[in-house]
Amino acid sequence: MPSHRRSAHRVGPATLLVLFAVVALLSPGTGSGSAVPGAPAGPALGPHAVTHLVAPPAARPAAVGPATGSVSSENWFNITSSVQGTPEPRDRAAIAYDAADHYVVMFGGYDPAGNGWLGDTWTYQNATWTQLSPRLAPSARSSAMMTYDPALGGVLLFGGFEYPGNYYSDTWLFQAGNWTLLHPGISPAGRMEGSLVYDPAAGAAVLFGGNNGAVTFGDTWEYAAGTWTQVGLGFAPSPRSQFAMAYDNASQGLVLFGGTNLTGVIFDDTWEFLSGSWTELSPTQFPAPQAYLAAATLPSGSVLLTCGQNSTSDLDQSWVFSNGSFTQISPANDPGPRALTAVAYDAVDHYVLLFGGFRLQPLQYHGDTWAFDQLSVSFDRFNTTGIAPFAFHPNVTEVGGVPPIAYAWTFGDLGSGIGPDPTHVYNTGGAYVVDLTIEDGLHLAAVLSTSTTVHLPVTISFSPPLGEAPEAVSFRTATTNGSAPYLSSWNFGDGSNGTGGQPVHVYSGSGTFRVSVVVKDSAGATGTASTNVTVIAAVHATVTASRSSGVAPVAVSFTALVTGGAAPYSYLWDFGDGSTGNDLAAPTHTYIEVGNFTVHVEVRDLYGKTTNATLLVRITGAGGTSTGGGGSTILGLAPLDWALLLVVAVVALSAALLLRRRRSPTADPPPDGPGRP
């Protein structure tokens, strides 16, 4: 039988490449990666978690604030008939309060109807005038200048006048009931009708102005450490005498007003001596031009100006200088028109003491005693509002006044009280007017009114305590200590408002909302309450894996990514091969078997709200056929996958053979063997 050589049909490189490409496309990957594309994430199971973080309404403390108001009352009282002992009438006496011995000291003056120029020494204490008989005293004189000097511990006196032309320049100290002549190395020129006032800031007694009958002085001197020193040589008031000067506690300087000079000019300017220098002030309101007036420092620290004389007549005006401005007061009584009075604040008797003076028309020299009583009261700490039952407790500051001080309260709810610091309990909400009447020993009264607001106690409750957006929340308010019916006005914190005692409001979005309500009763009393309502987004989870496929055995790490809800979260895993895991957000599981496994996790938040997520993982064998969670496989491929691969391979092989035949130019050579020619 003839032998025929068969042609060899070899698979070329192109065919192999096609086969490798098909196999690569159909073979599952074994490297790490994300979840299989298209694998279902799984529906969210269970309701979304919502939390309400509620701050329960608490009783608010009563507000404590600064002074809510103050009032002053002042009046002049003629106390001559109640005073023991009376000096003879006079004008131009020197006077000062002796803080060391706690009495007012008055020296000298002029009494044309009696002894003319006087050299007597009087003290005033506890409404009693007492004439002293010191072994040594200044000579008789009027218009001397006198002040208490705490550095010396006594009353300092300088100068004065005695007819016919004695203008003194001597310096005296009154201490413990006795006069002592001092001997400074240098002294101001002799004069009368100037002013001597102690300046605490300078630590010295300050002397300004005066005259000697021929010259009006405008010089300024300080007495300290036994020496007179001229100061303020620059800008200063024009020369003058018969003006008023006193210490102003507000500016902590000396205030000077008015006066006259020897040419008859009467002044209405205001000056301040501070830190060794003079400054002219410009108050918006001030007295008319006048001289021969007196001044004293009040317990409030302001300056009282009183009496005086203009170019034609005596005056009975009283002015108070405070915080850079003058205010004219209008007491019910006053000493009447007069000038050249002796005025000093009496710290023992708690009033400004005025004695004597001169009246031009009709001509009269006075010997009466007057008291200027000023009483100021304020609430310096004051609980202005609270929630019923509310304890109202004012703290009152009283300045000035003559002891004893009586306090009478009305609280606006038919309640009353006495004393400077009573406590009154308001059991019903409302607005109340509180009146305090304070009266001193001279029956000077001051009335101060203020108001206090007592609120209704209000609470807020709501349900459900938990929810998720959109959430319908039911609110309820409770109110006591008021009069029904009640009107409730709500602010739900998301831009919406409502009314009623039990409103329902739907929150469409998540967030923390400050809910407040204002409740008003039929009598107009109000109360407020507020709380926080927190609405959170639903809890949601997704799962990722370190790889979506692999060759068994293989360890796969999973991570549950959670949004919404409220931490902390708990986790329950089902790895699809019968194994489970708990309480880990990122567990690792090792697959032994081959198959397709659906991984499932349930996430539970702080409030018990749950959600679910799933992921598909494919596990193949090392080369055999096995059945896994996804059905039977051969070498890791399902039957359908193998069929598709076989069809592709046949088509590729046929195409390669056809291509080879087209490229061959001749038929196959005849076979070798017998019969070949």
pLDDT of 404-416, one tens digit each? 999 999 999 999 9
- pLDDT, average across residues 538-552: 94
Cα 60 to Cα 359, 427, 455, 635, 658: the distances in Å are: 63, 16, 10, 78, 98
> What DSSP element (H or E) covers 371?
strand 364-383
Cα 611 to Cα 28, 43, 44: the distances in Å are: 31, 8, 5
Q: Which residue has the higher pLDDT, 666 or 55?
A: 666
Q: Which residue has the higher pLDDT, 465 or 673?
A: 465
Confidence of residue 623 (pLDDT cuts 50, 70, 90): low
Residue 70, pLDDT score? 81
Instruction: Tell me how far apart the 2 most distant CA atoms of the chain are, in Å.
Output: 192
Percent of the chain, pLDDT > 70?
81
Residue 378, pLDDT score? 85
Cα 166 to Cα 117, 221, 319, 437: the distances in Å are: 11, 21, 34, 53
- pLDDT, average across residues 195-203: 96
Bridge partners of residue 598, in order along the sequence = 616
42-95: pLDDT as tens digits: 333 233 222 222 222 322 222 233 335 688 899 999 999 999 999 999 999 999
Contact of 530 with 517, CB cutoff 8 Å: yes
User: Please, what is the Cα angle at 12 between 655 and 656, to 5 degrees?
Assistant: 10
Contact of 440 with 375, CB cutoff 8 Å: yes
Sign of CA dihedral 93, 97, 98, 102: positive
Percent of the chain, pLDDT > 90?
70
Q: Rounded mean pLDDT of the chain? A: 85
390-401: pLDDT as tens digits: 998 888 888 999
User: Please, what is the Cα angle at 326 between 322 and 327, to 5 degrees?
Assistant: 100
Confidence of residue 653 (pLDDT cuts 50, 70, 90): confident
Confidence of residue 40 (pLDDT cuts 50, 70, 90): very low
Record the tokens describing residue 413, joined without a space: 């709810």
Confidence of residue 343 (pLDDT cuts 50, 70, 90): very high
Backbone φ and ψ for 112, nearest 5 degrees, come out as -65, -25
The label of the residue with tokens 């511990």 reads 153
Other C-beta atoms closer than 10 Å to the C-beta of 669 total: 8
What is the length of the chain? 677
Instruction: For each of the domains in the chain, give its residue range(s) and CATH number, in order of start.
Output: 29-42+541-639 (2.60.40.10), 72-375 (2.120.10.80), 458-535 (2.60.40.10)
Backbone φ and ψ for 493, nearest 5 degrees, come out as 85, -5
State whether residue 137 is helix, strand or coil. Answer: coil
- pLDDT, average across residues 534-562: 94
Contact of 341 with 91, CB cutoff 8 Å: yes
Residue 581, pLDDT score? 92
345-366: pLDDT as tens digits: 999 999 999 999 999 888 999 9
pLDDT at 341 over 70: yes
Record the tokens describing residue 127, joined without a space: 């409404």
Q: Which residue has the higher pLDDT, 573 or 20?
A: 573
Q: Which one, of 644, 640, 598, 595, lies nearest residue 36 by Cα? A: 598
Q: How far apart are CA 283 and CA 63, in angstroms?
A: 37
Contact of 367 with 89, CB cutoff 8 Å: yes
Residue 566, pLDDT score? 84
Other C-beta atoms closer than 10 Å to the C-beta of 9 total: 10
Confidence of residue 470 (pLDDT cuts 50, 70, 90): confident
Sign of CA dihedral 505, 509, 511, 514: negative
pLDDT at 35 over 80: no
List the strands of the sheet with 580-582, edge to edge: 549-551, 610-620, 595-604, 570-574, 580-582
Residue 637, pLDDT score? 45
Residue 641, pLDDT score? 47
pLDDT at 418 over 90: yes
Q: How far apart are CA 352 and CA 331, in angstroms?
A: 14
Confidence of residue 547 (pLDDT cuts 50, 70, 90): very high
Q: How far apart are CA 201 and CA 204, in angstroms?
A: 8
Q: Which residue has the higher pLDDT, 219 or 361?
A: 219
Q: Could you write out the DSSP letters of every residue in 338-370?
A: BBS-EEEEETTTTEEEEEEEEETTTTEEEEEEE
Residue 650, pLDDT score? 59
Ranked by mean pLDDT, which of 64-73, 462-471, 506-515 comes out on top?
A: 506-515
Record the tokens describing residue 485, joined without a space: 């019916």
- pLDDT, average across residues 483-502: 96
Residue 638, pLDDT score? 44
**pTM across the whole model:** 0.67
Contact of 317 with 326, CB cutoff 8 Å: no
Confidence of residue 606 (pLDDT cuts 50, 70, 90): confident
The 10 Å CB-count burial string (b at 16+, else e) for 350-373 is bbbbbbbbbbeeeebbbbbbbbbb
Contact of 326 with 288, CB cutoff 8 Å: no
Q: Which residue has the higher pLDDT, 199 or 676?
A: 199
Residue 659, pLDDT score? 64
Contact of 196 with 218, CB cutoff 8 Å: no
Q: How far apart are CA 123 and CA 83, in angstroms?
A: 12
Confidence of residue 8 (pLDDT cuts 50, 70, 90): very low
Confidence of residue 103 (pLDDT cuts 50, 70, 90): very high
Confidence of residue 114 (pLDDT cuts 50, 70, 90): confident
Instruction: Give the alpha-carbon dihedral of 413, 415, 421, 427, to 10 degrees.
Output: -60
User: Please, what is the Cα angle at 514 between 509 and 515, to 5 degrees?
Assistant: 95
Q: How far apart are CA 305 and CA 84, in angstroms?
A: 27
297-308: pLDDT as tens digits: 999 899 999 999
Q: Which residue has the higher pLDDT, 315 or 2?
A: 315
